Amino acid sequence: MANETALDAIGNATRRTMLTILHDGEHTVGQLTDVLPVTQSAISQHMRVLREAGLVNVREVGRRRLYSVDLGGLADVRAWVDGFWDDVLAAYVSHANQTASNPES
């Protein structure tokens, strides 16, 4: 199962938006503050949650911290979601095969 902390972290709309922005490349908290209707303090708190969930990386350059998406953390979440998709596809194939062998149902 995916890291429950990661699933909880992406349950928040602001954090999902932050991940979408970070998908385009590294950003500082200040840059995120410029494009989101959230205070710098709140952005920092959200980044801490995302970092602890393994969804973002931080790179220090001088006094600046640059945040980016941690693809490994997202891969864990995707693998968990894909497990459901596999079940849906298997059910669809089963239904299609049943319908094909018994078209009057």
pLDDT in tens, the chain (105 residues): 457 889 999 999 999 999 999 999 999 999 999 999 999 999 999 999 999 999 999 999 999 999 999 999 999 888 888 888 777 777 888 888 888 777 665
Query: For the CA atoms of 21, 23, 28, 29, what is the dihedral angle to 10 degrees?
Result: 50
The amino acid present at 98, given as its one-letter code, is Q
The number of distinct structural domains making up the chain is 1
Q: What is the domain extent for residue 64? A: 4-101
Question: Which H/E stretch holds residue 68?
Answer: strand 64-69
Query: For the CA atoms of 84, 89, 94, 95, what is the dihedral angle to 10 degrees?
Result: 100
pLDDT at position 83, please? 81
Tokens 């995916």 identify what position? 2
Residue 13's domain is classified under what CATH number? Answer: 1.10.10.10
Which pTM value belongs to this model? 0.78
pLDDT at position 90, please? 79
pLDDT at position 2, please? 59
Residues 89, 23, 26, CA angle at the centre, nearest 5°?
Answer: 155
